Amino acid sequence: MRQRHALIIGGGIAGAMTAMSLHRAGISSTVHEAYPSGADDAGAFLVLFHNGLEALRTVDAHRAVLDVSFPAERVEMLAHTGDSVGVRPVAGGTGTTGALGPRTLRRATLHRALHDEAIRRSVSIEHGKRLVSADTAPDGRVTARFDDGSCAEGDLLIGADGLHSVTRTLIDPGAPAPRHTGQITVCGYTPEVPPEAAPPPGTYRMIQGRRAFLGCTAAPDGEVWWFANTPGGERDREELATGTPAESARWRDHVVSLFSEDASPAAEIVRGSGGIVATNAYDMARTPVWHRASMVVLGDAAHAAAPNAAQGASMAIEDSVVLAKCLRDLPGVSEAFIRFESLRRNRVEAVVERSARLNDRVVPRPAETRPRARRDDDSGSDWLLDYRIDWDAPVGDDAGARA
């Protein structure tokens, strides 16, 4: 029987992870990345929680990430007064990864680790391939066409092309566009923070200010990595720029001003920082159509959450493993896509809603427009962080991926 070949659109975290998951399932793939090199923002950082690490472990890709990240074991909440309002261990248990808490690393570092691991497994990655159209033949074969005039053929096409996905609009021209959440996320790195202001080792300190929210943690070398969720309308590329010292200082000073009237250490943490990055925050409450014929979307292309729950990368990693299982175990591409959606939609939409509610702490909305809590979100974070995928369990009538 001829081995199926997948065209993966997007060479970021979701694309590289999907290629590795398919490889383990016995399906070959080629990753088509629009940019000449990795497109992930070199300055931003992210957190992978237990569920994301366990999904990586499913395809034996977790070690590459553990080697370039650092953990935290607990979360401490501070009020704008600087008073502690509680310390708790990070939910989700230690898991079989051996991680004691979430792992923190730069987004570009995660991208590079997964990219290098995919290449080590003989995955083909082609750069400078921006998708413009795709056609499906009667036999289900897909032809993807790129803006450089080239094309590629495969048995299926997987859109891992992120928030502003071209694949999503090819599958459904009426697909909703991402919604700006009224929030700008700013992050940075402070090499020297006074001991009284620095978070304790192994701790994520979360500070609820009167005008913004800040989270921070200390890297092994003592540098404090921080992010601030700040209210603000959608900005264009020029307004978000932080490439020059003046642009970086403008955003740093803006964040400091939001915490300047608080008695918490937030302003002190931000004041001495560099490496500033500012990004718009978006989400998509629901993408009605995930697949058509031999094309499907996953990760941010299918379900974008505001960054507040810090689950975007983990959801994409989970998606890639579950999709690979469905393609491995079900006889046809269409059946696999239907099963994939049935296994994933409720979970990822619950994460989108949770992130939206956390976003409301920074940018309050009228009560009637706020998302309602889903039933599976009633028990705290266990349903989210304790999620595990059993690679060896066949996908059939059972869930195939269970908490």
Residue 135: pLDDT over 60: yes
What's 92's DSSP letter?
A: T
SS3 call for 243: coil
pLDDT digits (tens, 9 = 90+) for 310-346: 899 999 999 999 999 999 999 999 999 999 999 999 9
Q: Which of 41, 13, 106 is nearest to 243 (CA)?
A: 41
Structure confidence at residue 309 as a pLDDT band (50, 70, 90): confident
Residue 36: pLDDT over 90: no
d(CA 106, CA 129): 25
Structure confidence at residue 3 as a pLDDT band (50, 70, 90): confident
Tokens describing residue 258: 């939001």
Q: Which of 238, 243, 228 is nearest to 275 (CA)?
A: 243
Residue 40: pLDDT over 80: no
Structure confidence at residue 400 as a pLDDT band (50, 70, 90): very low
Structure confidence at residue 97 as a pLDDT band (50, 70, 90): very low
pTM for the structure as a whole = 0.90
Structure confidence at residue 360 as a pLDDT band (50, 70, 90): low
Residue 68: pLDDT over 80: yes
In the block, residue with structure tokens 């994520």: 204
Q: Output phi, psi for 32, to 5 deg.
A: -115, 110
End-to-end CA distance of the chain: 34
Q: Output phi, psi for 285, to 5 deg.
A: -60, -40
The crossing angle, in degrees rounded to 10, of helices 107-120 and 13-24 is 30
Structure confidence at residue 356 as a pLDDT band (50, 70, 90): confident
Structure confidence at residue 155 as a pLDDT band (50, 70, 90): very high
For range 171-185, the mean pLDDT: 94
Q: Which residue has the higher pLDDT, 385 or 226?
A: 226
d(CA 124, CA 136): 22
What's the pLDDT at 271?
95
β-partners of residue 136 are 142
What's the pLDDT at 362?
59
d(CA 10, CA 125): 10
β-partners of residue 279 are 185
Tokens describing residue 314: 């983990």
| % of the chain surpassing 90 pLDDT | 75
User: What are the CA-CA distances from residue 20 to residues 10, 30, 91, 123, 135 (Å)?
Assistant: 14, 11, 28, 7, 25
What's the pLDDT at 341?
97
Q: Which residue has the higher pLDDT, 152 or 74?
A: 152
Q: Which of 323, 347, 317 is nearest to 50 (CA)?
A: 317
What's the pLDDT at 373?
46
Tokens describing residue 272: 């001495």
Least confident of 40-44, 75-79, 172-176: 40-44
d(CA 389, CA 321): 8
- Element (DSSP H or E) covering residue 88: strand 84-89
Residue 359: pLDDT over 80: no
d(CA 336, CA 59): 19
β-partners of residue 131 are 146
d(CA 130, CA 151): 10
Q: Is 371 left (phi over 0), alpha (psi -120 to 50) or beta?
A: beta
Least confident of 38-52, 214-228, 265-279, 282-296: 38-52
| % of the chain surpassing 70 pLDDT | 88
Mean pLDDT of the chain: 88
d(CA 308, CA 273): 21
What's 69's DSSP letter?
A: -
Tokens describing residue 236: 């264009």
pLDDT digits (tens, 9 = 90+) for 298-307: 999 999 988 8
Q: Which residue has the higher pLDDT, 308 or 145?
A: 145
Alpha-carbon 206 to chain mean position:
20
